[in-house]
Amino acid sequence: VNRMCLAADVPLVESGTAGYLGQVTVIKKLFGEEDPDQDVSPDTEDPELTGDAGEKALGNEAKNSIGGIERKSTRGWAAETGYDTVKLFNKLFRDDIKYLLSMDKLWKKRRPPTPLDWDKLPSTEFVDGPIRDQQLWSVQQCADILNNSIK
C-alpha cells in the first residue's frame, strides 16, 4: 500500500501499531519529480561513473575531496566537534536547510522549510494534550530534549 500511494502521489495516513490513541502520521513523497539531467548530489569520485574504474580501484591514494573540499560523514564531523549541541543543531537545522533551499526545483510544489538558529529559536507555546503522547512540544522544548540527549 505504501508504494502504491507514493506512486500515485496520494498521501498515506499511517497509524502503525500504536494508533489506538489517535496519533497518526501522514506519509508523503519527500522529494519532487526525478530529473535525470540534474542529480541532487552526484558523486564525482565514484569510479563507475567516471569510467576509469580500474585506475581508481588500483590507486594507492584514496581521495576523499572534490575541488579541495574534504568530504566527511556527519557522524565523523560530530565526533570531531565533541558532539557540541549548538554546532550540531546549527548544521542540521540551519546550514543543511539553507543548502536544500538553494535547490529551487524541490520547492515548486511544496512549502520550503524554514532554517532554525539555536540562538534565535521561535518562542511558541507548549500545547498540553489529554495524555502524554498527545502533547505538542514547542521548538524550544525540542531543542532542550536534543541537548539533554546529546550530553
pLDDT of 112 reads 93
Strands (E), 20-141: 25-27, 65-66, 69-70
Residue 23: φ, ψ to 5° = -85, 120
Q: Tens of pLDDT along 53-73? A: 445 444 434 455 556 677 788
Positive or negative CA dihedral for 83, 84, 87, 90?
Answer: positive
Please tell me the number of Cα atoms within 13 Å of 144 on its side-chain side: 6
Beta-bridge partner residues of 13? 26
138, 125 contact by CB (below 8 A): yes
CATH 3.30.300.30 corresponds to the domain 84-151: no
The domain segmentation of the chain, as residue ranges, is 1-30, 84-151
Q: Does residue 25 register a pLDDT over 50?
A: yes
Residue with grid cell 502521489, as numbered in its chain: 9
DSSP 40-63: SS--TT-HHHHS-HHHHHH-S---
Q: Tens of pLDDT along 108-139? A: 999 999 999 999 988 777 667 677 777 788 88
Q: Does residue 30 register a pLDDT over 90?
A: no
Q: Tens of pLDDT along 84-106? A: 999 999 999 999 999 999 998 98
Closest CA to 143 of 87, 95, 85, 75: 85
Q: Tens of pLDDT along 31-55? A: 555 656 655 555 566 665 555 544 5
pLDDT of 86 reads 93
Beta-carbon neighbour count of residue 93 at 10 Å?
A: 21
Average pLDDT, the chain: 75
pLDDT of 90 reads 93
pTM of the model: 0.53
